[in-house]
Chains A and B, each alone.
Chain A
């Protein structure tokens, strides 16, 4: 049955992709485009583009999209569940271990070494995201600079630093400013 097949395929994708979103892409391509033919190569390219401009993790996006194409809405839901299930099982075990042994000296030592690394990783990813938002992912120069995007980033940053504003409002405000810029380009 197609639903069971979807569940199994995306369970495998969820299980074998370590390292987040972009590590999943080649695996999805192999299993969903080549082996099962649920989506075409063209649809897959569209999917990658859509994933970059829609909310949510790319792995979940891909699962939903492929499931929908293969077997409608229920297919999308089943594929998503399949993709999340391995995480749920493995991470829950890790969470229990962390709760139980998190205070053991050697584990504390390991995390003490890891925490500054995580800060560095977030900083690294942050720079890439700022580059995408303000320079559209191109080489940083005055020519590629998106002045509107820079203005929104600076305004949002200032709003957060000087006042404790809920980040949901920050996001809504930033989106509204983007729309406002569009209004200015047409009048």
Chain B
């Protein structure tokens, strides 16, 4: 991958499209970023992407923006971070500016509702696809501890509605401790 004008254009276009097509922010855009940057463009590794999501979730501010900054910085340093931030922020800035004038008609427009329904179904399909791929990738490594963490944290998050940041902290500290203890053996 060469860092040239074409690269920056692709980075901007990708973050712009992803932001323009995702509704609800955060965990909607992250699987799409994974699909695009890891699977389609093959610019970053799945492992790194997961780390970026964890950092983006734990840092203050908007998670989608945080994760974009991390991806942009990883690819092309400071300019990359600025370009991907711009790409992520522009679509909502434009849509809200237009919608704040016409939102009543938009809300009552049935055609718009069907269009949004279709887009939402598309997002659901992408998330399903990304989730299956990621779960398979975890289990394929045949590391029993990772498998257990996945199952336990899913139960904690989905059924018990545990605080997401606490989950990340808890398993992060456990992982760090385990790496220290393991070395001493």
Q: Is the CB of B172 within 8 A of A133?
A: no
- Identify which of A80, A121, A167 contacts B40 (C-beta below 8 A): A167
A55 touches B60 (CB 8 A): no
Please report the total number of A residues contacting B with Cβ < 8 Å. 100
Is B123 close to A, CB under 8 A?
Answer: yes
User: Among residues 124 to 151 in chain A, which have CB atoms less than 8 Å away from a CB atom of chain B?
Assistant: 124-127, 129-130, 132-134, 146, 148-150
A148 to B119, CA, bound (A): 12
Given the complex, which residues of A lie within 8 Å of B168, measured CB to CB?
Answer: 114, 117-118
Give the secondary structure class of B's interface. helix
Main secondary structure of the interface of A (DSSP, over half): helix
Q: Are A19's CB and B165's CB within 8 A?
A: yes
| A108 CA / B179 CA spacing, docked (Å) | 8
Interface size on B, residues (CB 8 A): 103
User: In the complex, which residues 9-39 of chain A have their Cβ closer than 8 Å to any Cβ of chain B?
Assistant: 14-21, 24
Q: Quick check: is A2 within 8 A (CB to CB) of the other chain? A: no
Residues B124 and A160 in contact, CB atoms below 8 Å apart = no
Q: How far is the CA of A90 from the CA of B131 in the complex (A)?
A: 28
Per-position 1/0 for A144-165, Cβ under 8 A of B: 0010111011111100110010
Least CB distance from B110 to A in Å reads 7
How far is it, in angstroms, between the C-alpha of A112 and the C-alpha of B48 when the chains are bound? 11
**When the two chains form their complex, are residues B179 and A91 in contact, meaning their CB atoms are under 8 A apart?**
no
A76-B93, A178-B115 known; A21 and B122 CB under 8 Å?
A: no
B54 within 8 A of A: yes
Q: A119-B135, A132-B120 are in contact. Are A156 and B126 (CB under 8 A)?
A: yes
Q: For chain B, residues 129 to 185, give those with C-beta under 8 angstroms from any C-beta of chain A.
A: 129-131, 134-135, 138, 146-147, 149-151, 153-154, 157-158, 163-165, 167-168, 171-180, 182-183
At the interface, yes or no: B83 with Cβ under 8 Å from chain A? no
Instruction: Knowing A110-B173, A118-B54, A160-B125 are in contact, say whether A55-B19 is a contact too (CB < 8 A).
Output: yes
Tell me the minimal C-beta distance from A51 to chain B in angstroms: 8
Residues on B with C-beta less than 8 A from A149 are 117-118, 120-121, 124
Pick the contact of A171: B51, B122, B164 (CB < 8 A): B122
- Contact indicator A124/B23 (Cβ below 8 Å): no
Residues of B close to A111: CB separation below 8 A: 50-51, 54, 172, 175
Interface flags, B70-91, vs A, CB<8A=1, else 0: 1001100010010001001101
B118 to A21, Cβ gap below 8 A?
A: no
Least Cβ–Cβ distance between A152 and chain B, in angstroms: 4
Contacts of B167 in A (CB 8 A): 117, 121
Q: With a CB–CB cut-off of 8 A, which chain B residues contact A21?
A: 24-26, 62-63
B44 at the interface (CB under 8 A from A): no
- Which A residues between 55 and 106 are near B, CB-CB below 8 angstroms? 55-61, 64-65, 68-69, 73, 76-77, 80, 83-84, 86-88, 90-92, 94-96, 98-99, 102, 105-106
CB of A174 within 8 A of chain B? Answer: yes
Shortest CB-to-CB span from A177 to chain B, Å, is: 5
A119 CB contacts on chain B under 8 angstroms? 50, 131, 134-135, 138, 150
Query: What's the nearest-Cβ distance from chain A to residue B145, in Å?
Result: 8
| Residue numbers in A under 8 Å from B27 (CB-CB) | 20, 121-122, 125-126, 129
A-B contact pairs, 14 of them (CB 8 A): A20-B26, A20-B63, A53-B23, A58-B24, A69-B100, A87-B61, A91-B81, A113-B174, A114-B171, A122-B27, A124-B154, A133-B124, A170-B126, A179-B118
